[in-house]
Amino acid sequence: MTILSTKNLTKTYGKKTALSQINIEIPRGRIIGLLGPNGSGKSTFIKLAAGLLVPTDGEIIIAGEAPGVDTKAKVSYLSERTYLNDWMRVSEIIAFFEDFYEDFNRIKAENMLKDLNINPDDRLKTMSKGTKEKVQLILVMSRQAQLYLLDEPIGGVDPAARDYILNTIITNYKEDAAVIISTHLIADIEQILDDIIFINQGELVMSSSVDEIREAHNKSVDGLFREVFKC
């Protein structure tokens, strides 16, 4: 069953085209890597799915609906920005998420904080950028969402935490949920991906399962990426 589908999805900013005529279907139960060079339209795609942008043309459907209040309740979105208020304590942000998202699981969040040695009483102001990113990812993964949109989730965290986070992603999502991860750190996440979508300059270059790539091209995703996007 499809969790996300697009039909001729197009987004332009003024004269600049960020996404053009994208048609994809994303099934439930998969981890999808949304891969492409900088400025290829990855973030635009994710923001459209998160309902932070409105398509210029075409449509995007999530769990049967156009992005809105209902889809936002089912979608857990990790932005590339650190979007948390500086003055808040971690425990206050947990209360915030608990208030607005019915599918938020406080116990899960508290356990993950403990695993990563983050004190819930700390204020975000006192944290490093990497720790803030960890907190944000914990919040996002503590939801029992149907679709996770992770925009550059591991960019700023250390390799040890990276493994923990990837592990959390694999173990935390339910069978009927899908995870879309946008990144250019392909080698790091390759082992957890089921499918990949390559986009470049706003256009869909390739959409395939990781197994197919390995069979057809006899290459790793990272290797194929380097070949396709060779400068």
Partner 1 sequence: MLGKLIKHETRATSRIFLPLYGALLILTIFTKLALAFGAPDFFSDNVATNPVIEVVLGISFTLYFIAVVALSVMTLVMIIQRFYKNLFTDEGYLMFSLPVKTWELVLSKLLVGLIWSAVCTLMIVISFFILSLGSFTMMDLTQGISMAYTEFYSTFGTSLNVLIFEIMMLIVVSTISSILMIYVSIAIGQLFNQHRIVASFGAYIVITIALQIIGSILMAIFALGNLDAVISQGQDGEAMQMIHLLINGSTLCNVILCVGFYFATQYIMKNRLNLE
In the set 45, 101, 148, 198, which binds partner 1 (CB under 8 A)?
101
Q: Is 38 in the site for partner 1 (CB under 8 A)?
A: no
For 204, phi and psi rounded to 5 degrees? -75, 120
Shortest reach from residue 85's CB to partner 1, in Å: 6
Q: CA end-to-end span of the chain, whole Å?
A: 37
In the set 24, 26, 31, 53, which binds partner 1 (CB under 8 A)?
53
Residue 204, C-beta contacts closer than 8 angstroms, at least 6 positions apart? 22, 23, 24, 197, 198
Shortest reach from residue 17's CB to partner 1, in Å: 14
Token duo for residue 182: 């946008």
Shortest reach from residue 60's CB to partner 1, in Å: 15
Q: Is 14 in the site for partner 1 (CB under 8 A)?
A: yes
Beta bridge partners of 143: 104
Token duo for residue 57: 């043309």
Token duo for residue 91: 């425990």
Token pair 């204020």 is at which residue?
Answer: 123
Neighbours of 97 (CB within 10 A): 19
DSSP 192: G
Residues 65-84 close enough to bind partner 1 by CB under 8 A = 69-70, 72-73, 75, 77, 79, 81-84
Shortest reach from residue 156's CB to partner 1, in Å: 14
Between 48 and 186, name the residue whose CB sits nearer to partner 1: 48
Q: Is 45 in the site for partner 1 (CB under 8 A)?
A: no
Binding site for partner 1 (CB under 8 A): 13-14, 47, 50-54, 69-70, 72-73, 75, 77, 79, 81-85, 87, 96, 99-101
